[in-house]
Amino acid sequence: MASMLSFSTIPTLGSSSSSSRASFPSRLSSLSLSHRYAEAGVKDDFRSATIDVVADVKTERVVVLGGSGFVGSAICKAAVSKGIEVISLSRSGRPTYPGSWIDQVTWIPGMFYNLPRDVFYTNWDEILFGATAVVSTIGGFGSEEQMQRINGEANIVSVNAAKEFGIPKFIFISVHDYNLPSFVLSTGYFTGKRKAEAEVLSKYPNSGVVLRPGFIYGKRRVDGFEIPLDLIGQPAERILSAIENFTKPLSSLPASDLLLAPPVNVDDLALAVVNAVTDDDFFGVFTIEQIKEAAAKVKV
């Protein structure tokens, strides 16, 4: 498999290539334990017995696409806090702001969007080798064509590359549909996301994860400035959660979730991703409420 992958090479991704598949560390480790006993009145003959213990040890190595962005950096931070090895691939590479967790992530610049000819390419051989999961936060706004390519086709390329390399799990950060009317959902942003979702669920029917958050809040950094989205999102989440029983009858109204869908803390979204990485039984499409439930499972 060529190390540089472009949109024009998408049809070749389904072909089998043993040389390009990742090799994974064994989940079984043999532990050799040596014991000596020296009690009162008992002569220690310095002989030791070796006990072979087979333990189920699972080592996670996660690749985060868009890892230096708002959502991606939160995922990287949460993952390393749980002892997961993290490789971030993004256009900018290592963040410029300080943080002790940043040194624990391998930052690789080199995610390229070359619109309109090529949609997305990178050195997959370098990025995916040995990975146990890929997390994509790729998305953005722009013209209809740009949104289709970035939200849809760039993610589709990533899914196929991960599948070709034999990566066991793919996690995609998508978006809640807010009960929007069909003419809005037919725009490039939403159709691109839904096409990417379909690819994840098709290629990974028993391990693919699609998370559909609504408004994501937290402290977002843009051009060196910190935007405190939590000042809006946190109180809104509390209020909407408190009145949820009263607003449920309104949820069927068109576009009602623009006002009624609870925001999601970026740290909760990141913890839900960690849950998806570590739990083999966690797969499928997850709503806002299910994202929060997943995050609660791994909170300390």
Across residues 36-51, what is the average pLDDT? 46
- DSSP secondary structure, 210-222, as one string: EE---SEESEEEE
Confidence band of 27 (pLDDT split at 50, 70, 90): very low
Q: Check whether 225 has a pLDDT greater than 80.
A: no
Q: Which of 191, 190, 115, 204 is CA-nearest to residue 158?
A: 204
Residue 228 near residue 191, CB atoms below 8 Å: no
Classify strands 49-56 and 219-222 as parallel, antiparallel or unpaired: unpaired
pLDDT at 136: 97
The more confidently predicted of residues 250 and 176 is 176
Backbone phi and psi for residue 202, each to the nearest 5 degrees, phi listed first = -75, -45
Q: Which of 199, 171, 182 is CA-nearest to residue 60?
A: 171
- DSSP secondary structure, 9-59, as one string: GGGGGGS--GGGSPP---SEEEEEEEE----TT-------EEEEEEEE---
Q: What is the largest CA-CA distance in the chain?
A: 87
The more confidently predicted of residues 111 and 245 is 245
Q: Check whether 38 has a pLDDT greater than 50.
A: no
pLDDT-wise least confident of 54-58, 117-121, 185-189, 271-275? 54-58
Residue 234 near residue 266, CB atoms below 8 Å: no
Taking the C-alpha atoms of residue 263 and residue 153, their distance in angstroms, rounded to an integer, is 27
Instruction: Determine if the peptide bond prior to 25 is cis (ω within 30°).
Output: no
Q: Check whether 234 has a pLDDT greater than 60.
A: yes
pLDDT at 20: 34
Across residues 251-271, what is the average pLDDT? 88
Q: Write the single-letter amino acid at 25.
A: P
Strands of 160-251 (E only): list them.
169-173, 209-211, 216-217, 219-222, 225-228
- Mean pLDDT, the chain, rounded, equals 80
| pTM metric for this prediction | 0.76
Confidence band of 10 (pLDDT split at 50, 70, 90): very low
